[in-house]
């Protein structure tokens, strides 16, 4: 592997492209001839203003963000934004109610957090386990809700929405932390999109927030200034000291996507990679097992168990150990669900996925 690196299938913080890391390495000690490291750069400097504004412009072009939206770089991660989005907008209508589509661990946490600030209507019937998205005929939506929330891709459970759900004009708040920049999306259909950077956008420490202008007038008076979309937009995300380095890397990642075919190419790559992995699973005669309905299987996070139920843990431990010997790492499932989790973010190449495919086939032959 180049630079002694391994193929890192981590769910986040995730792998970064080698060319991005090389750029960081080159500029780490002396950014742009300033005589200072990027780690030392003042957030009030002209150099950082250029970094921040260029990152915003590149994201605007990539995502085709309409002019009536603000792009913010905030702190607190996706977890912080589950609170911030509710604090900002749950009072948009007198009901102080919001609809939540719970499809996995992250949307469940978001609903629980939002319940501190208003009433929560669960759109879907309660599920014993997360295996997909219920049929729209079973949905219970409240037209008086301030917004509808959903998580576009459940990183832990491996469920992804194939399309934007119909909300009949109610504003949508969407957590896109683990699949943003992996496919084309119509931003104009959302009120708020947020995404922690540590999957497809760079390093941990910064969260991208895209918010529609008209929603900036609906902020609750008890919302903390650091979480207030209106205040942060007026200050260009610089109310307080921002995560300078994380925004810098986010900018490099946006540039990387632009220079490597844009969202159309990222979407094509993700389809090729995930299809290759799912083909091995589907053709394994039950050796590799996924529980997610095929229509809702995530392109970003493939979650599986291996072997018979009474032998899963032993085989999975062996799978992880043998994969590591082939420089295929970070494949252990989330502690809450176990098993194997294969994360296929933009930084994982088609060639990387093909190496894992070959390993999976060989592992099955040796252990069936």
Residues 6 or more apart whose Cβ sits within 8 Å of residue 264:
184
- Do the beta carbons of residue 331 and residue 319 sit within 8 Å? yes
Active site includes 58? no
The catalytic residue among 93, 199, 273, 332 is 199
Active site includes 67? no
Q: Give the gyration radius of the chain's Cα atoms.
A: 21
The catalytic residue among 56, 58, 99, 106 is 106
- Do the beta carbons of residue 119 and residue 96 sit within 8 Å? yes
Active site includes 139? no
Strand (E) positions, the chain?
Answer: 7-8, 69-74, 97-101, 119-122, 148-151, 153-154, 159-160, 172-175, 192-196, 207-212, 288-289, 301-306, 328-329, 340-343
**Helices vs strands, H then E, count in the chain:** 9, 14
The catalytic residue among 58, 175, 228, 352 is 175
DSSP codes of every residue in 295-362: GGB-SSEEEEEES-GGGHHHHHHHHHHHHHHTTEE--BPPTTT-SEEEE--TTS-HHHHHHHHHHHHH
- Do the beta carbons of residue 168 and residue 142 sit within 8 Å? no
List the catalytic residues: 106, 175, 199
């Amino acid at each position: 592997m180049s630079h002694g690196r391994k193929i890192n299938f981590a769910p986040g913080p995730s792998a970064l492209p080698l060319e991005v890391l090389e750029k960081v390495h080159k500029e780490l000690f002396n950014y742009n001839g300033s005589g200072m490291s990027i780690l030392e750069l003042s957030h009030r400097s002209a150099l950082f203003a250029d970094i921040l504004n260029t990152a915003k412009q590149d994201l605007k072009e990539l995502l085709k963000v309409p002019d009536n939206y603000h792009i913010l770089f905030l702190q607190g991660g996706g977890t912080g934004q589950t609170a911030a989005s509710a604090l900002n907008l749950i009072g948009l209508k007198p009901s102080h109610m919001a609809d939540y589509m719970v499809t996995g661990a992250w949307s469940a946490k978001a609903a629980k957090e939002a319940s501190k600030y208003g009433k929560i209507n669960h759109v879907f019937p309660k599920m014993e386990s997360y295996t997909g998205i219920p049929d729209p005929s079973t949905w219970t939506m409240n037209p008086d809700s301030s917004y509808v929330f959903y998580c576009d891709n459940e990183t832990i459970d491996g469920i992804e929405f194939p399309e934007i759900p119909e909300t009949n004009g109610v504003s949508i708040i969407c957590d896109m932390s683990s699949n943003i920049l992996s496919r084309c999306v119509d931003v104009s259909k959302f009120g708020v999109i947020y995404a922690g950077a540590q999957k497809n956008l760079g390093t941990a420490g910064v969260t991208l927030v895209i918010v529609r202008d008209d929603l900036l007038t609906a902020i609750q008076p008890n919302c903390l200034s650091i979480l207030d979309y209106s205040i942060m937009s007026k200050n260009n995300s610089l109310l307080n000291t921002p995560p300078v380095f994380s925004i810098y890397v986010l900018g490099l990642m946006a540039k990387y996507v632009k220079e490597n075919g844009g969202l159309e190419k990222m979407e094509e790559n993700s389809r090729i990679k995930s299809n290759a992995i799912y083909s091995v699973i589907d053709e394994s005669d039950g050796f590799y097992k996924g529980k997610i309905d095929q229509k809702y299987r995530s392109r970003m996070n493939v979650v599986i168990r291996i072997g018979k139920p009474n032998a899963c843990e032993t085989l999975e431990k062996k799978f992880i150990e043998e994969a590591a010997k082939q420089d295929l790492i970070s494949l252990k499932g989330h502690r809450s669900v176990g098993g194997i989790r294969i994360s296929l973010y933009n930084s994982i190449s088609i060639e990387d996925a093909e190496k894992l495919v070959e390993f999976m086939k060989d592992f099955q032959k040796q252990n069936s």
